[in-house]
Amino acid sequence: MSDDTTMHDSADSIHAVSTDAVTSRRRAPLIVAVVAVVIAGLFVVLIGAKTDEVATADSPLLGRPAPAVQTTTLDGQPFDLQRRKGSWVVLNFFNSTCVPCVQEHPELAKFADKQAKLADGAEFYTVVWDDNRGAVQKFFADNGGSWPILADDDARIEVAFGVAKVPETWIIDPNGFVVSRHLGGTTDDQLTQLLAQAKAG
């Protein structure tokens, strides 16, 4: 093989490699742009997505009789959950230093107020979670909320329901069965939807 042929073949190889490199460089920004558009689209879909049902958390208590709860309210009134049969009951576990608890409080106030005006409205109760009575009473005095606040000084209610972190909200039906558990902060609309779902069975 002559030197000219060898040089020609080498030149062709270099040209091919150069062309591939240029093509790759040209494609790279396009690929990056396409991937970015896809990711952005998915992000928008996830942000804007709405579901027909509010997500709830699993628990071995669901579908079972609610744990026995006998305590007093912070103003000294006796409370026995078993005696609330015949009514829908919503228990919200609360701590005055918990940021999500503080944030959801105005929404809980809306929910409790609306339910109190309904003939078949749910009874709403706050359960004090790892907090002192004085701090909780001050919080309610400063931020409103006229529903009963249940003491849990020995953490029996907390343990019975398996609450490890607040806020957490439970719904108990008129037969005394646990029908829903919601973890984290909630809103008036979410609780209203959860209650409607529970009533619908």
DSSP-assigned states of every residue in 39-71: HHHHHHHHHH---SS------TTTTSBPPP-EE
Is the confidence at residue 37, as pLDDT, over 50?
A: no
- Classified as helix, coil or strand, 131 is coil
Let me know: does 195 contact 120? Beta carbons within 8 Å. no
Q: String of b and e for 168-186 (b: at least 16 CB within 10 Å)?
A: bbbbbbeebbbbbbbbebb
Is the confidence at residue 22, as pLDDT, over 50?
A: no
Q: Report pTM.
A: 0.74
d(CA 185, CA 168): 7
Closest C-alpha among 137, 148, 153 to residue 91: 148
Band of pLDDT at residue 55, cut at 50, 70 and 90: low
Mean pLDDT of the residues in the chain? 82
d(CA 123, CA 99): 24
**pLDDT of res. 200:** 93
Q: Is 70-200 a domain of CATH 3.40.30.10? A: yes
Most confident of 15-19, 37-41, 129-133: 129-133
